[in-house]
Amino acid sequence: MKKNIVLFVLFILPIVAYLFFASGVNSFTRLPTVTKGIPELGDWESLNKEKVVLANKITILGFSGSEILKNRGNLFNLNEKIYQRYHTFKDLQFVMICPLGTENDVRSILDALDEFTDVSQWHFVFTTPENIQAYYSTLQLKGQLDENAGTPNVYIVDKAKNLRGRKDAKDYKEGYNTFHPSELSNEMLDDFKIILYEYRAALKKNRNATKQLLKE
């Protein structure tokens, strides 16, 4: 009997454990879609006069509100926990939608970030609070903007302009609170890694398919 128990522990249990964890990993290799096909941004003026589009980019999307300078710590948290780690990924952009009149506040924040960060993937666009509210409504989220047309939450948008998150009732997550560094380091980082895994896996699959076609 003891011999059978030892054999089970040494050989069978590791296999069972591997199958269990492997199935768990597979179930989290795709992040659910919260809102499908969100609209492009309007023809809103960006800080650098460039056209900012969502299509074909992985976007971290935020709504700064008119008190962006007061809440600049939220951007610094996001910059430290996510941006600095991944901003060299060429298909990634961080886009903040801001009320008109906050341009100088944004410039001062960027100047501070620029002292220790390459800020080239930060993009800020400006429009009226009414336009911001109307656009936010198209995201079909449970959360709401505050009276300053802002929220501490940021959202993950994939290349097909789908807003991604967690849809399980017990662990629903449509956005990630930049006020809490721990939420960025844990939930958001975990979910963002899944998005990157999806695209890296798709890229590898496309490369393999191309190689196969070249062989035929």
Q: Note the pTM of the prediction, 2 decimals.
A: 0.82
Tell me the Ramachandran region of residue 127: left when phi exceeds 0, alpha when psi lies from -120 to 50, beta otherwise.
beta
Which residue carries 């009276």 as its tokens? 147
**Start-to-end Cα distance in the chain:** 57
- Scanning 72-180, the segments in alpha helix (DSSP H) are 72-78, 84-86, 103-113, 129-138
CA dist., res. 80 & res. 74, Å (int): 10
Q: Answer whether 64's CB lies under 8 Å from 98's CB.
A: yes
Q: Answer whether 141's CB lies under 8 Å from 175's CB.
A: yes
Give the pLDDT of residue 19: 41
Strand partners, 60: 94, 156
CA dist., res. 159 & res. 189, Å (int): 18
Give the pLDDT of residue 90: 87
For every one of its 216 residues, what pLDDT tens digit does the chain have, with 9 covering 90 and above?
655 555 555 555 555 444 444 434 334 468 999 999 999 998 998 998 899 999 999 999 999 999 999 999 999 999 999 999 999 998 999 999 999 999 999 999 999 999 999 999 999 999 999 999 999 999 999 999 999 999 999 999 999 999 999 998 888 999 999 999 999 999 999 999 999 999 888 677 555 544 443 344
Which residue carries 């911001």 as its tokens? 132
- Architecture in CATH for domain 33-211: 3-Layer(aba) Sandwich (3.40)
**Cα separation values, 140 from 7, 39, 62, 105, 172, Å:** 55, 11, 15, 29, 14
Which residue carries 């709504």 as its tokens? 63
